[in-house]
Structure 1
Amino acid sequence: MLNPGDEAPRGTPGTGDDICPECHGKGRIGGAPCPKCGGSGTITRAIGGA
Structure 2
Amino acid sequence: MLTHKLLLYVLPFLRYTQYINYYLPHSQPHLANSCTNVLSYFIGTLWSV
- Provide TM-score, normalisation by structure 2: 0.27
Bigger proportion of residues as strand: 1
Structure ID, larger Rg: 2
- Provide TM-score, normalisation by structure 1: 0.27
> Which is bigger in relative contact order (C-alpha 8 A, separation at least 6)?
1
